[in-house]
Amino acid sequence: MADNKLTEKSHFATLTKRWAAYLGSRSIDDFAEFTMHLNNLGSYFGELRLPGLTRLCEGLENAAVAKLDATHPLPDKDLTALQRQIDTLEAALASVGQPESKASPHSLTRRRTDPSDQIDHWIAPRGVCIFSAPGSEEIAENISRQLSFIGFDVFQNDWAVPNEPEGRTNLAVIFLPPTSGLTDAGLDFICAMRERFRVSQLLYVGGPQDMSAMISLMRNGIDVTFPEGEPLSSLIMQVIDLVEDSEKPNYRVLVVEDSKVASAAIQRTLREHGVDTLAVTDPANLLTEIKGFNPDLVLMDMQMPQFDGVEATRVLRQIREHKSLPIVYLSAEMDIGKQMDALRLGGDQFLTKPFNPIVLSAVVKTKIERYRMMLRSTQTDGLTGLLNHTASKSHLDKLFTSSIDTNELAVVMIDIDHFKAINDVHGHPVGDLVIRGLAWLLKGKLRANDLIGRYGGEEFIIALPGANPQRAAEVIEDIRVAFATLPHLADDSTIFATFSAGIASLPGYDDATALTRAADRALLEAKRDGRNRVVSVIG
């Protein structure tokens, strides 16, 4: 977090410089630059999983965008209001504390995907604060135990009594309200905690699945409500997902525009917002270019030679892999009837030229993020949130191809020992809990660019790019030891489980399938040798 904090401050310093430039010139151009950087800063905080800072930045951005079409220079009252929001954002950024240098004995810290130190660079755990009302102590203790074991620094408070130590940084604040329901005083308490924990995500557990109640919670500062009956595993996964130091691939947009001048302007705007683009000025080349570029979104002009954008969209919608690809029209076409036809025949949204760069960026990023979420939902296992069998194999093929030059890739097959006995004795719900516990440990321990998948049943697959055989064995052995000490609640008792693992590493294998089979053979050897052990083979 220390490195990110420096980067956050440098980003904010750039923002204040652009604000100072506007205060000096009072020109609309400088104000537009300031607003565009706000958009970039909000996206940056979002990528770092800093929900409070993201929220504050978005609020400031919305206020600035509302003034883009106003007469400039802005009156003093508007400048004062914007300055107040900038000061609030700066204070919130300053409140993000440094992580502690030491973790608890069972802390499982998460490795950063730093290319200069891809295996050994670690990140300290983040704080979680819990407010529990009378009657929810057992739930609070269960949440605390699970989160603490996978690397979170959890502090429990009684309801409406914030007494945590100074200097803590909480990634998430969890509210376990009274069973009798939330009163006005309870809402006031949440509102006060929203102000106190400005950079944290506020999670409310056990509320009614009611539109009015959930909106009321949102208005008072709650980010996510888990309605009554929602399994606690959903809450745990939400917190884990917040700290994933994932390096998302850049957004990719294919710009289909016959005018080179217009195409260059669009590309420049998107590039300033961190979006990779490829221009197609001849729509006849669309199918060839889209196959090679693999975009997240197509930005389509309506009026082009040979055939128009609607016809091009109808062709794309006939190809299976492009049926769900977002297509946004960006055109000077003002005829509402033609715009409606464009949407009816396959488009997702219509923007008109000349375009507002902030709106264009916001639409593109929102559409792409929702598209990627949809893709993730088809590629993940419902119980664990890990990649499913098919997605794991596909991702491993890509990792194998990218690792050919370095010859550093380890594949691990993991199987929970005596899992059938766990199901037979304690029941399938406890078996599911054991599977989720291992999944959470893997997500907490491994890097964001490591492949972690549920291969089927109680079997998992892992791929560690850039890892040599010795380091891969050390990492998996560390996880094996940790899992053996992880308690799982079974009715009124606590049980423990172990796993066996087989590792195969490059070089010596022709493809990902051969590497996986070798890891599977090593796993069988580990089980034959007595289970609860790691066996490695080298091709």
pLDDT tens for each residue of 234-272: 888 888 777 654 446 789 999 999 888 899 999 998 988
Region 252-376: CATH code: 3.40.50.2300
pLDDT tops 60 at residue 116: no
What pTM value is reported for the model?
0.66
Highest mean pLDDT among 40-44, 81-85, 177-181, 440-444: 81-85
Report the run of H or E that residue 488 belongs to, with start and end: strand 488-490
pLDDT tops 50 at residue 117: no
Fold designation for 2-94: Four Helix Bundle (Hemerythrin (Met), subunit A) (1.20.120)
pLDDT tops 50 at residue 49: yes
**How far is the C-alpha of 452 from the C-alpha of 497, rounded, in Å?**
19
Class of domain 389-538: alpha beta
Instruction: Report the pLDDT value the prediction gives residue 110, as an integer from 0 to 100.
Output: 40
pLDDT per residue over 431-483, tens digit each? 998 998 899 889 878 887 899 999 999 999 999 999 999 999 999 999 999 99
For 306, which DSSP code? S
Class of domain 110-243: alpha beta
Q: By the 8 A CB rule, do 374 and 325 touch?
A: no
> Which residue in 249, 277, 272, 219 sits closest to 37, CA to CA?
272
**How far is the C-alpha of 100 from the C-alpha of 8, rounded, in Å?**
19
Mean pLDDT of the chain: 84
* pLDDT bucket at 303, cuts 50 / 70 / 90: confident
Percent of the chain scoring above 90 in pLDDT: 40
> Do the domains spanning 252-376 and 389-538 agree at the CATH topology level?
no
**How far is the C-alpha of 212 from the C-alpha of 412, rounded, in Å?**
48
* pLDDT bucket at 56, cuts 50 / 70 / 90: confident
CB-facing half-sphere around the CA of 424: CA atoms within 13 A: 4
* pLDDT bucket at 274, cuts 50 / 70 / 90: confident
pLDDT per residue over 401-416, tens digit each? 988 888 899 999 999 9
Highest mean pLDDT among 4-18, 350-364, 493-507: 493-507
**How far is the C-alpha of 106 from the C-alpha of 154, rounded, in Å?**
13
Instruction: Report the pLDDT value the prediction gives residue 3, as an integer from 0 to 100.
Output: 42
Q: How many C-beta atoms surround the C-beta of residue 369 within 10 A?
A: 15
* pLDDT bucket at 321, cuts 50 / 70 / 90: confident
pLDDT tops 80 at residue 124: no
Q: By the 8 A CB rule, do 519 and 455 touch?
A: no
Task: Give the residue with greater pLDDT, 229 vs 262.
Answer: 262
The pair of structure tokens assigned to 8 is 């956050």
Report the run of H or E that residue 58 belongs to, with start and end: helix 51-65
Instruction: Report the pLDDT value the prediction gives residue 4, as an integer from 0 to 100.
Output: 45
Instruction: Report the pLDDT value the prediction gives residue 2, as an integer from 0 to 100.
Output: 40
Q: Where are the domains of the chain?
A: 2-94, 110-243, 252-376, 389-538
pLDDT tops 90 at residue 228: no
Question: What one-letter code names the amino acid at 218?
Answer: M
